[in-house]
Structure 1
């Protein structure tokens, strides 16, 4: 979320607020990755996020294009009287690993440590995610 700096700041800079999406069905199923929607608890978390920032002048909400991110952003946006603009940035998506996607955490524990070469990932390099 992007908001104005507090009144005591005269710098004219923007303040970035970061919030994690609410609980998704993947979290409940203990699955890694995938494009899952929010649970009811996740939707409540989005409302809690709004309650935490409602007194700030939020000018934009930026989210990934994954269901859980979009749903969280849309809920927060809707709760603002002026429906804050939501911008979807696919660049914010987590990297996709076919080896790990949609595997349950318990399955991964049973299989033991895996070797994963992050250099082979084409879509997400350290240089691309460094702030």
Structure 2
């Protein structure tokens, strides 16, 4: 069992990058936030003051780290990086049209869906309290979390969208607290 999944937690997708704006695969390309992404991170971070976040964990990719830094500045918290929370490695598909992805296939030079899931769960297993925590990562990370906790069709978060995963006995629910853009 993953200790994180014993507690309610927050999840925030990183701010926009040039790849997001162009709707192309970014994967593990280490792109920074674009101008709009920096503004998104600042706006969403300011709204985090309304929530009792006690720790911040993030992917080390620049786009997630910069988004986490905006939150950390507002919440006066340190950031802990977890390399296993990086986005899926899409190999040779990085830089291609996102609409052409087959998420059930292993891309040339990239991770299989099961390898990505296993790595992401290993990363989530490293997240510790104090609780509740904020995880700043990627749409792929959110896909794994949703698959593990509720299943069903994936609801892809927008850039800087903040979701609250709430554990009530043995049932999980998720609600959007801060809409992304």
Change (3 A) 1:84 1:128: closer
Partner of 1:6: none
Tell me by how many angstroms 1:114 deviates: 9.3
Please show how residues 23-62 of structure 1 align to structure 2 within 5 Å: 23-33=16-26, 34-62=29-57
Q: State how far apart, in whole Å, the 1-side matches of 2:67 and 2:103 are.
A: 32
TM-score when scaled to structure 2?
Answer: 0.51
Q: State how far apart, in whole Å, the 2-side matches of 1:56 and 1:114 are.
A: 33
5+ residue gaps in structure 2? 1-5, 122-147, 150-181
The 8 Å contact of residues 19 and 49 in structure 1, kept in 2 or not, is answered as no
Q: Over the residues paired in the alignment, what is the CA RMSD in angstroms?
A: 3.0
Q: State how far apart, in whole Å, the 2-side matches of 1:64 and 1:115 are.
A: 23
Change (3 A) 1:75 1:63: same
What SS does structure 2 have at the residue aligned with 1:117? coil
Instruction: Identify the structure with bigger relative contact order (alpha carbons < 8 Å, sequence gap 6+).
Output: 2
Larger radius of gyration: 1
